[in-house]
A and B are shown apart, each in its own frame.
Chain A
Amino acid sequence: MTTRVLSGMTVEVNEEGFLLSPDAWTPELAVEIAREEGIEELTPAHWQVIEWCRKNAVNGRSPTLRQITAGTGLSTKELFALFPKGPAKKVARIAGLGKPEGCV
């Protein structure tokens, strides 16, 4: 657990840079984290996914890929195009939600 300064705010993050509290998230943070993930600009399509995930996060946990596709109407291919290499994990980080993880 560590803190870092993102877009002028001090936030708590874990070792992989995921926000510890979804409440600390702001849209400005999302823009900055997205850049770190190699996404230069967040388009309306990106925001649609981010907002849907924030709205449908259960207990701070990001929805699964299948829940995102069912909920947003985007295909998994489109999600991979928007958030290359592992959209579930990338969306979770950009949306300030917990990393998808197992029980151990």
Chain B
Amino acid sequence: MKRLLILGAGTAGTMVANRLSRTLDRDEWKITVVDQHDTHYYQPGFLFIPFGIYTKADVVKPRRDFLPPGVELILSPVEVIEAERNRVRLAQDNRWLEYDFLVVATGAQIRPDQTPGLMEHEWRRSIYDFYTLEGALALAKHLRTWKGGRLVVNVVDNPIKCPVAPLEFLMLADWFFHEQGIRDRVELIYATPLSAAFTKPIAAKRLGYLLEQKGIKVVPDFMVERVNPDARKLIAYDEQEVEYDLLVSVPLNMGDEVIARSGLGDALNFVPVDKHTFLSPKYPNLFVLGDAAAVPTSKAGSVAHFAVECFAENFVRYVEGAEMNVRFDGHANCFVESGFGKGLLIDFNYDTEPLPGRYPLPGIGPMTLLEESEVNHWGKLMFRWMYWHILLKGRDLPLPALMSMAGKWRNN
């Protein structure tokens, strides 16, 4: 029996287990998945929790429910990966697991501890995050009775999971405070280390108006060094300051500590792999899927989905000694909530920036690319059902894994 070991039962790891359990010969392969705990989070749903659109019950389910029968699930933290010796040590009973092939899908986590002042006595009092369930729930409670003031959303550094989420948060906040009748008492500010809210030329041209129209102020090139939680201000490396009454931080994102302990990662604990095949350049039996990989695409579930589809096709060939013939193109497809029941949709890859057009049917849609519409918003809400019932189970969507130029407009 050959053993395929998958570390992490999040979006990427679960999809890998599901796809490969169908395509690998089960008489020859044993598939084992390791994760620290049994709760699967629908992370895109966290964004809606602060505004009371989703509750906790909408975003959590047991991991076991999404793994196919016959796939072994071990609940334990991982101590270390010894890639040289093809084995992994679990925290539980110091047990060693040997493998023939390893898929690392340990994801990315927020690290508020990496910015001084963030995670001290004002953490979850005047400083919040919405990238964890606990953070999103605490923020929801705070917003229910908040009387208004200066709300600052700050991205500490890139890359982050779901790079559009901070913008979505601000646009949903604008809508929420309108509904609460206190929009005139709320200032919305976006402090970003990038040079603008939209940095891709065509998106900037077409969407630049959005934030201005909604009265959201952008503080660009803001590289936060520390937070002064008592004076309620963010201080940048160049001494620039931004004051707040309520800080919604998107802390530094890092890969799992087990990556650092195992000497596999870069400065942010992300693992360098080939961006088309996800194979490690150092170990011929080690692949990294999902947010844990250091590849120049967005850390997002849609990317993981398209990537896993390509990987699974390659993997069955690779283990037979054949060449991997599907090259992942960095395809991402993301709904972007823009408030007031509308949304945007962006579809792009390593080489092509988000372009306007229609999706998935060229010329017809119904989704509109890089343009606000109500149907995009409904698409985003419907997506939760698709996530639990289709995507995680590794079933095919009637959408191609690689990006298509059909339906996109270049010159507009």
| A interface, CB within 8 angstroms of B | 15, 58-59, 61, 64-67, 69-71, 76-77, 80, 84-86, 88-89, 99-104
Contacts of B388 in A (CB 8 A): none
B346 is an interface residue with CB less than 8 A from chain A: yes
Report which residue of B158, B167, B225, B350 has the largest number of chain A beta carbons within 10 angstroms of its beta carbon.
B158
Chain B 188-217 against A: per-residue CB contact (8 Å), 1 yes, 0 no?
000001110011110100010000000000
The CA of A64 and the CA of B163, in the complex, are separated in Å by 15
Complex Cα distance A64/B336, Å? 25
A9 CB to nearest B CB, Å: 25
- Residues in chain B near residue A58, CB distance under 8 A: 272, 294, 296
* B193 with A104: CB separation less than 8 A: no
The 10 closest A-B pairs by CB, nearest first: A70-B267, A101-B199, A104-B203, A67-B267, A86-B221, A103-B163, A103-B298, A80-B237, A102-B199, A102-B163
Closest to B220 in A: A86
Max count, chain B CB within 10 A of own CB: residue among A65, A66, A67, A80: A66
Do B332 and A103 touch across chains, with their CB atoms under 8 A apart? Answer: yes
Interface check B266, CB cutoff 8 A: yes
Given the known inter-chain contacts A104-B164, A104-B346, please indicate yes or no for A59 contacting B158, CB distance below 8 A. no
Q: How far is the CA of A91 from the CA of B70 in the complex (A)?
A: 52
**Contact in complex: B164, A103 (CB < 8 Å):** yes
B157 touches A77 (CB 8 A): no
- Nearest-Cβ distance from residue B224 to partner chain A, whole angstroms: 11
Nearest B residue to A15, CB-CB: B201
B348 within 8 A of A: yes
Q: Mark B291-317, 1 if CB is under 8 A from A, else 0.
A: 000101010000000000000000000
Give B residues with C-beta under 8 Å from A: 157-159, 163-164, 167, 193-195, 198-201, 203, 207, 221, 223, 225, 237-238, 252, 266-268, 272, 275, 294, 296, 298, 332, 334, 336, 346, 348, 350, 354
A104 touches B207 (CB 8 A): yes
State the Cβ distance, A54 to closest chain B Cβ, in Å.
Answer: 16
From B158, B268, B275, B294, A102 is in contact (CB under 8 Å) with: B158
Contact A80 B294 (CB under 8 A): no
Task: Please indicate the chain A residues that have their CB under 8 angstroms from the CB of B238 in the complex.
Answer: 80, 84-86
Q: Are B268 and A66 in contact (CB-based, < 8 A)?
A: yes
CB distance from B195 to the nearest CB of A (A): 6
A10 to B275, CA, bound (A): 31
A79 nearest CB neighbor, chain B only? B237
Contact between B193 and A88, CB atoms less than 8 A apart: yes
Provide the residues of chain A in CB contact with B294, threshold 8 Å: 58
Residues in B neighbouring A65, C-beta threshold 8 A: 157, 193, 223
CA distance A99 to B199 in the complex (A): 9
CA distance A70 to B267 in the complex (A): 6
Of A71, A88, A103, which one neighbours B223 at CB under 8 angstroms? A88
Q: With the chains together, A102 CA to B201 CA distance in Å?
A: 11
Q: How far is the CB of A74 from chain B (nearest CB, A)?
A: 12
A71 x B267 contact (CB < 8 A): yes
Query: Which of A15, A67, A76, A85 is within 8 Å of B268, CB to CB?
Result: A67
A102 CA to B165 CA in the complex, in Å? Answer: 12
Contact (A104, B200) CB under 8 Å given A65-B157, A66-B157, A80-B238: yes
Chain B residue at minimal CB-CB distance from A84? B238
- In the complex, are the beta carbons of B221 and A77 less than 8 A apart? no
9 contacts between A and B (CB under 8 A): A64-B268, A65-B157, A66-B267, A67-B267, A80-B237, A86-B195, A100-B194, A103-B164, A103-B348
A57 to chain B, nearest CB (A): 10
Complex Cα distance A54/B267, Å? 16
Task: Report how far A101 CA is from B195 CA in the complex, Å.
Answer: 8
In the assembly, what is the distance between CA of A64 and CA of B266, in Å? 11
Cβ 8 A contact of A61, one of B167, B296, B298: B296
Q: Chain A contacts of B201 at CB under 8 A? A: 15
- Contacting pair B195 A99 (CB below 8 A): yes
| Distance of A15 from chain B, by nearest CB (Å) | 7
Expressed in whole angstroms, the minimum distance between the Cβ of B280 and any Cβ of chain A is: 14
With A66-B157, A88-B223 known, 18 other A-B pairs at CB within 8 A are A64-B159, A65-B157, A66-B268, A70-B267, A76-B223, A80-B238, A85-B238, A89-B221, A99-B195, A100-B195, A101-B199, A101-B200, A102-B163, A102-B194, A103-B163, A103-B346, A103-B354, A104-B167
